[in-house]
Amino acid sequence: MLNYVNEFLFGGEILEKTLVKNKHLAYGIIVAYLVFVKWAGPALMKNRKPFELKYAMILYDFGQAFANAYLTYNIIKNGWESWHLHCKLQERVVELPQIAEKLLRYGWLIYLVKYLDLIDTCMFVLRKRDRQVSFLHVFHHCIMCVFCCWFIGQIKTVGYYVVFGLGLNTSVHVVLYFYYGVAAIGPNMVKYLWWKRYLTQFQIAQFFLILAYLSYGFYTGCERMGVKEITFFVYTFIILLLFMDFFKKINIKRKS
Query: What does 202-244 look like in DSSP terms, one character per residue?
Result: HHHHHHHHHHHHHHHHHHHTSS---HHHHHHHHHHHHHHHHHH
DSSP 51: P
Position 159 pLDDT exceeds 90: no
pLDDT in tens, 196-231: 889 999 999 999 999 999 999 998 888 888 888 899
pLDDT at 134: 92
Tell me the backbone φ, ψ of residue 5, rounded to 5 degrees: -60, -45
Q: How many CB atoms lie within 10 A of CB 199?
A: 16
pLDDT of residue 156: 61
Look at 83-92, 157-166, 224-233, 240-249 and tell me which has the smallest mean pLDDT.
83-92
- The rounded mean pLDDT for the chain is 87
Share of the chain above pLDDT 90, in %: 54
Phi, psi of 94 (to 5 degrees): -60, -40
> For residue range 79-131, what is the model confidence (pLDDT) as tens digits?
888 777 777 665 554 455 566 677 778 888 999 999 999 999 999 999 999 88
In this predicted structure, what is the pLDDT of residue 94?
A: 43
pTM of the model: 0.90
Please name the residues in contact with 118: beta carbons below 8 A apart, sequence gap of 6 or more. 29, 30, 33, 141, 145
Cβ-proximal residues to 255 (8 Å cutoff; 6+ apart), any chain: none
- Nearest residue to 75 via CA among 159, 170, 149, 150: 170
What is the mean predicted confidence (pLDDT) over 134-151?
91
Whether the CA torsion 166, 151, 60, 51 is positive or negative: it is positive
| Spatial separation of the C-alpha atoms in residues 148 and 150, rounded to whole Å | 5
Task: Tell me the catalytic residues.
Answer: 140
pLDDT at 88: 67
